[in-house]
Amino acid sequence: MAERLTNYDPSRIPETFEDRSFSTLRANVAALTLVAPVAATATAAFGLIHGWPALIADIAAAPIYVPIAILLAGIVAHELLHLAAWQIVAKPPSGSVRLGFHWKSITPYAHCSAPMTARAYTVGAAMPGILLGVIPMIVGLVTGSGGWMCFGVLFTIAAGGDALILWLLRGVAGDRLVLDHPTRPGCLLLHEGSAADSVDE
């Protein structure tokens, strides 16, 4: 039975939850250690197969506003993919998912205030890295498109925090209950055998 946390108060983290969140700094370190090697390997393969000039040919030929617009659209799309995956897989209550903007770091964020299974949460965490990172890199490698390759590399690295979430939840049963952390990247994990009473009094 899932806990009813749709009106969750971040100042009252239930003791039955284990904190699996992390700082922005740790997310950046994760980007370097978990996903940057993948991006670097794909980039090296592209250069060996298609030649290094092809890597930047598309970007060099485009007006400066084009890559900037694509970058901004990709950032927003990254967060929207989190929300879409949660909506489809977890089916949270209406109004419990939202897209916001963190002014201190000047970045958008996706948040779900309702609990979901670890399986649904990890699907939502993985989608941006797969759809905006890995797949575009594969397209770039196959077609020789430097634009696709650069886009994929950039958003693979951008998914470093998401990769850290997947790492921190490795081995967690798919039906365990988790709650997206209200203020930090990551989530709160319900201990097995804990009571599932409501906390939205």
Identity of the residue numbered 175: D
Maximum CA extent, the chain: 61
Two tokens, residue 90: 């977890």
Structural domain that includes position 106? 17-190
End-to-end CA distance of the chain: 17
165 within a domain of the structure (yes/no): yes
What is the layout of strands, in order, in the sheet containing 186-190? 17-21, 186-190, 177-180, 116-117
197 within a domain of the structure (yes/no): no
What percent of the chain stands above pLDDT 90? 64
Identity of the residue numbered 25: L
Among all chains, which residue has been given the structure tokens 């949270």?
A: 92
The DSSP H or E segment spanning 157 is helix 146-157
201 within a domain of the structure (yes/no): no
Q: Is the pLDDT of residue 11 over 60?
A: no
Express each pLDDT in 71-104 by its tens digit. 999 999 999 999 999 999 999 998 899 998 877 7
Confidence of residue 4 (pLDDT cuts 50, 70, 90): very low
113 within a domain of the structure (yes/no): yes
Give me the pLDDT at residue 24, please: 81
* CA–CA dist 127, 182 (Å, integer): 20
Q: Please indicate whether residue 106 or residue 183 has the higher confidence score (pLDDT).
A: 183
If we measure between CA atoms, which residue out of 160, 166, 145, 147 comes closest to residue 39?
160
172 within a domain of the structure (yes/no): yes
Q: Length of the chain in residues, anyone?
A: 201
Mean pLDDT on 5-11: 46
Angle at CA of residue 85, ends 186 and 111, nearest 5°: 40
Angle at CA of residue 132, ends 128 and 134, nearest 5°: 100
Q: Are 117 and 90 in contact (CB under 8 A)?
A: yes
Tally the domains of the chain: 1
- pTM for this one? 0.85
7 within a domain of the structure (yes/no): no
1 within a domain of the structure (yes/no): no
**Residue partners of 161: CB distance under 8 A and separation at least 6:** 22, 24, 27, 30, 31, 185
200 within a domain of the structure (yes/no): no
* CA–CA dist 142, 172 (Å, integer): 35
* CA–CA dist 177, 169 (Å, integer): 12
Q: Is the pLDDT of residue 32 over 90?
A: no
